[in-house]
Amino acid sequence: MSDRGDGMSDRGDGMSEDRLRALLREEPIPGATEAKRRGLELIDSAYVERRPAQRPVLPRLAIALTAAALLAAFVLSPAGAAVRDWVGDVFTAGVKNAEPALTDVPGGGDLLVQSPRGPWVVHADGSRRLLGDYDAATWSPHGLYVAVASGRSLSAIEPDGTPHWSITAPGPVSEPRWSPSGFRIAYRAGRSLRVERADGSEGNLIAARSAAVAPAWYPPGPHLLAYVDAKRRLVLAEADSGKRVDMAAAAPGVIALSWSHDGGELLEIAPRGLWIRNVMPGKLSGLSLSDGPRRLGLPANAVVRAAAFAPSHHTVAVLLEHHSTAGPRSEVLLLDPAGGPSRRLFAVSGRLTELAWSPDSRRLMLAWPAADQWLFVPVARGPRLRAIANVSSVFSPGHMNRAAFPHVEGWCC
Amino acid sequence: MGAEVNERKLLREAQRGSRDALAALYEAHWGNAQRAAYLVVHDAGAAEDIAQEAFLAAVDDLDRFDRRRPFAPWLHRIVVNRAIDWARRENLRCSAGNPEHEPAIAHADEPAAGALMPALAQLPPEQRAVVVLRYLLEYTPGEIARMLALPRGTVNSRLRRGLDRLRELIEVEG
């Protein structure tokens, strides 16, 4: 890079090239140190999660030892008693004897599934409908409507696809979230965060710039919204006025938020950990974030793929991924935020990617793309584990090769 | 030469799974990537996003990367092209008269301390980019032309116009 054949020699009539170089090098960048730290966390997580193109061929002994260790862990763990009858089948190729088709939603309720063709509604009896060419979707609180996003458009439609209204946002719409009251929809438009009345009549700006984290509505009902702003602060704001009720530094690397059902706790989810924060009645504002979040104990070197509070109690389910020379291993833990013992619910040799609670908090749905399966795992005694195979073809009918694996946007009511 | 050998070694180790090697590559290249993006988009948050995206692309393509090629130009090409795209979009929003999108320069988290940023803001994103590639990252006009898929004459004219404009705007001793 020594060629300077640009004819840009100094003229002696103002700024020299060397002076310009110095100015460009020395210009201060706001928040550069924190940004560098955040970037390294993110890149390191992505690196850990990546799948090398050429994986080493493992000795059979290592595979056998890993399998044996997993099996022993299952049998010895408290959850092992409930899952012992099927764990032996669950290793690298998915659950054996999985049901070949989705004939019903185990445990009931309706699923909202985002596929390469757009979102689908799957009813409890297994019937399903493609809603249209939308990029994102979210249920209204009782499943009567779906908010869908496509480009700069946000629309409300019925689960049979009947449109009700549509607005054009100032930027590409993403992360729509319907409020528990049913009267508001929060969404990101480009980098901004906005709230729209659920009849599409009026909207307002909450933050001109926000982090790429889905906003989370305060469950008990008032139109309060938690979000992460562009400066990586966790903000609690009134949705109608945009007024900030309270604010605190967000947990490092936070990628998602989840409220407990009663609004007493807010979970901050990051690849490197889970942080929980008590939300207290405040003297002036009505609510305040507690001083500092508590970090929940997780196994060392585990990467958090997903986590969520149960819809009706304070249990947190977390999907963790571990890496070793034998490849990725996934496990689901049930955590007690109050500090009680955690419980391993499920584990496999392979990569699970999603976790969703059933509306009655009795099951967890897990996605296993490499096996093309959804797993419906019982949390309580009673129901049995069910595995559904050929998931991708269900949501991409007519696709010749295996289509992209769909993503569950919500499990309603 | 020593730095190139060391970088090839780091790339090889990162391809084999060394997180330390990846961290060393990050340490070596993050600063320039973030700074280049910031000088083009004038928004610290957007610059962070752009630099992160470039590194994530590098992680995704790590196994396919040819270690004989230098890493920096590949990374900088992604950074600068994404920064130009971002700045163009912001300009379009401003020109559409959307009150929620002020000029990009006003989006900086803190006011710029010196004269450089306001002066750079007067240049179109494409001119900012070639100035940054030439005078921060020290690429030749030929290399810049290849990175941005432009004729070399276009790069030279953008450089000349950009520098002339900056000379007018920044009053400093020569």
Band of the pLDDT at B168, cuts 50, 70, 90?
confident
Given CB atoms, is A294 within the 8 Å cutoff of chain B? no
Of the ranges A134-148, A313-327, B109-123, B154-168, which one carries the lowest mean pLDDT score?
Answer: B109-123
* pTM greater than 0.90 (yes/no): no
Give B32 to chain A, closest Cα distance, Å: 9
Contact by Cβ (8 Å): A43, B56 = yes
Given CB atoms, is A404 within the 8 Å cutoff of chain B? no
DSSP β-bridge partners for residue A316: A309, A335
Given CB atoms, is B45 within the 8 Å cutoff of chain A? yes
Contact by Cβ (8 Å): A209, A229 = yes
Residue B66 has what pLDDT?
83
Q: Between chains, do B156 and A31 touch, taking CB under 8 Å as contact?
A: no
Chosen from B27, B88, B94, B100 to mutate, greatest number of chain A CBs within 10 A: B100
Structural domain of residue B56, as residue ranges? 2-169
For residues A384 and B97, which has the higher predicted lDDT (pLDDT)? Answer: A384
Q: Between chains, do B131 and A20 touch, taking CB under 8 Å as contact?
A: yes
Residue A65 has what pLDDT?
44
Sheet holding A184-189, edge to edge: A173-178, A184-189, A192-197, A203-207
Give the chain B residue whose CA is nearest to the CA of A172.
B89
Band of the pLDDT at B97, cuts 50, 70, 90?
very low
Residue A284 has what pLDDT?
46
Q: Which residues in chain B are closer than 8 Å to A17, comparing Cβ atoms?
A: 135, 163
Q: Between chains, do B140 and A50 touch, taking CB under 8 Å as contact?
A: no
Give the chain A residue whose CA is nearest to the CA of B153.
A6
Q: Tell whether B54 is covered by a domain.
A: yes
Give me the residue label for tokens 């499990």. A411
Given CB atoms, is B30 within the 8 Å cutoff of chain A? yes
Structural domain total, chain B: 1
Give A260 to chain B, closest Cα distance, Å: 30
Residue A47 has what pLDDT?
79
Query: In this predicted model, what pLDDT tens digit does every residue of B40-92 receive, in sequence order?
Result: 999 888 888 889 888 888 887 888 888 788 899 999 999 999 899 888 877 66
Neighbours of A289 (CB within 10 A): 20
Average pLDDT of the residues in A123-150: 94
Smallest Cα–Cα separation from A4: which of B148, B137, B134? Answer: B134
Given CB atoms, is B151 within the 8 Å cutoff of chain A? no
Smallest Cα–Cα separation from B111: which of B121, B99, B97? Answer: B121
Chosen from A47, A49, A231 to mutate, greatest number of chain B CBs within 10 A: A47
Measure CB to CB from residue A27 to each of B117, B131, B163 and give the nearest one: B117
Q: Between chains, do B45 and A191 touch, taking CB under 8 Å as contact?
A: yes
Measure CB to CB from residue A44 to each of B23, B30, B64 and give the nearest one: B23
Specify the DSSP class assigned to residue B158: H
Given CB atoms, is A142 within the 8 Å cutoff of chain B? no
Given CB atoms, is B11 within the 8 Å cutoff of chain A? no
Percent helix, percent strand, percent coil in chain B, to nearest 5: 75, 0, 25
Report the percent of chain A where pLDDT is more than 90: 57
Of the ranges A264-278, A321-335, A398-412, B23-37, which one carries the lowest mean pLDDT score?
Answer: A398-412
Give the chain B residue whose CA is nearest to the CA of A325.
B17
Q: Tell whether B52 is covered by a domain.
A: yes
Q: Tell whether B106 is covered by a domain.
A: yes
Cα-based distances in Å from B154 to A6, A57, A186: 11, 51, 45
Average pLDDT of the residues in A244-255: 90
Q: What is the 3-state secondary structure (H, E, C) of chain A?
A: CCCCCCCCCCCCCCCCHHHHHHHHHHCCCCCHHHHHHHHHHHHHHHHHHCCCCCCCCCCHHHHHHHHHHHHHHHHHCCCHHHHHHHHCCCECCECCCCECCCCCCCCCCEEEEEECCEEEEECCCCCEEECCCCCEEEECCCCCCEEEEECCEEEEECCCCCEEEEEECCCCEEEEEECCCCCEEEEEECCEEEEEECCCCCEEEEECCECCCCCEECCCCCCEEEEEECCCEEEEEECCCCCEEEEEECCCCCCEEEECCCCCEEEEEECCEEEEEEEECCCCCCCEECCCCEECCCCCCCEEEEEEECCCCCCEEEEEEEEECCEEEEEEEEECCCCCCCEEEEEEECCCCEEEECCCCCEEEEEEHHHCEEEEEECCCCCCCEEECCHHHHHCCCCCCCCCCCEEEEEEC
Band of the pLDDT at A398, cuts 50, 70, 90?
confident
Q: Which residues contact A375 (CB under 8 A, 6 or more apart)?
A: A95, A346, A352, A365, A366, A367, A368, A385, A386, A387, A388
Chosen from A9, A23, A204 to mutate, greatest number of chain B CBs within 10 A: A23
Report the percent of chain B where pLDDT is more than 70: 82
Average pLDDT of the residues in A282-304: 78
Smallest Cα–Cα separation from A117: which of A104, A131, A127, A107? Answer: A131
Contact by Cβ (8 Å): A317, A333 = yes
A241 has a pLDDT exceeding 60: yes
Q: Between chains, do A39 and B47 touch, taking CB under 8 Å as contact?
A: no
Interface of A with B in 190-229 (CB under 8 A): 191-192, 205, 208-209, 212
| Complex ipTM value | 0.86
Residue A401 has what pLDDT?
66
Query: In this predicted model, what pLDDT tens digit does every residue of A47-104 receive, in sequence order?
Result: 776 645 444 334 443 444 444 444 444 433 433 333 333 333 334 568 888 999 899 9
Q: Tell whether B38 is covered by a domain.
A: yes
A344 has a pLDDT exceeding 70: yes
Mean pLDDT for chain B? 82
Sign of CA dihedral A126, A334, A85, A64: positive
Band of the pLDDT at A286, cuts 50, 70, 90?
low
Q: Between chains, do A24 and B107 touch, taking CB under 8 Å as contact?
A: no
Q: Tell whether B58 is covered by a domain.
A: yes
Q: Tell whether B174 is covered by a domain.
A: no
Burial level of A320, CB count in 10 A (0-12/13-18/19+)?
buried
Query: In this predicted model, what pLDDT tens digit does every residue of A363-375 receive, in sequence order?
Result: 999 999 999 999 9
Q: Tell whether B28 is covered by a domain.
A: yes
Q: Between chains, do B108 and A50 touch, taking CB under 8 Å as contact?
A: no
Residue A301 has what pLDDT?
83
